[in-house]
Amino acid sequence: MDFYEVVENRRSIRKYKTIPVEEEKLKRILEAVRIAPSAANRQPWHFIVIKDEAAKQNLKEAYAREWFYTAPVVICACGEPGKAWIRRDGKNYVDVDVSIAFEHLVLAATAEGLGTCWIGAFDPAKLRAALGLPDGIEPIAMTPLGYPDEVPKATSRKSMTEIVRPNTW
């Protein structure tokens, strides 16, 4: 798949086959995450890879959807705001940086024939407790990772003219 095919084929997958994800594929995906860009190259991120069934079940307090647990792997992306670049007006770039790396994960998984679904609607306090996150580390996004067991239709998008403005607002 070339880059544009990957972008066009990606879908949020909410049903997974139980077959495991090959280690080589997981390694390549995590390498795509590792080399993502970040503001001032601070790399203020950590990725928790959860394969252990008991550890996965622990997450149910934080995110209860049954379909999420059909995938063999779950990855939680965490940010470390204290390590992130801060713009002069005080804006901390941790969410931007982690999101870029997370989208690398999502697109690399698609290129490997694997599915993901970006999850933001978890309970952060419960997720922190389930994963044992120390102070200063924030959970930002989670995804299941596995072979898709559904082929969702493409969801709609705004038109080009709604979102692109020439030269000024």
Q: How many CB atoms lie within 10 A of CB 17?
A: 14
- Between 27 and 120, name the residue whose CB sits nearer to ligand FMN: 120
In this chain, which stretch among 25-33, 41-49, 69-77, 117-125 interacts with ligand FMN, using CB under 6 A?
Answer: 117-125
Residue 119 interacting with ligand FMN (CB under 6 A): yes
Q: How many residues bind ligand FMN (CB under 6 A)?
A: 9
Residue 107 interacting with ligand FMN (CB under 6 A): no
Longest dimension (CA), the chain: 53
Residue 60 interacting with ligand FMN (CB under 6 A): no
Residue 159 interacting with ligand FMN (CB under 6 A): no
Q: How many CB atoms lie within 10 A of CB 109?
A: 27
Contact criterion met (CB below 8 Å) for 55 and 90: no
Distance CA 23, CA 8 (A): 25
Question: Which residue ranges make up the site for ligand FMN (CB under 6 A)?
Answer: 11-12, 117-121, 152, 155
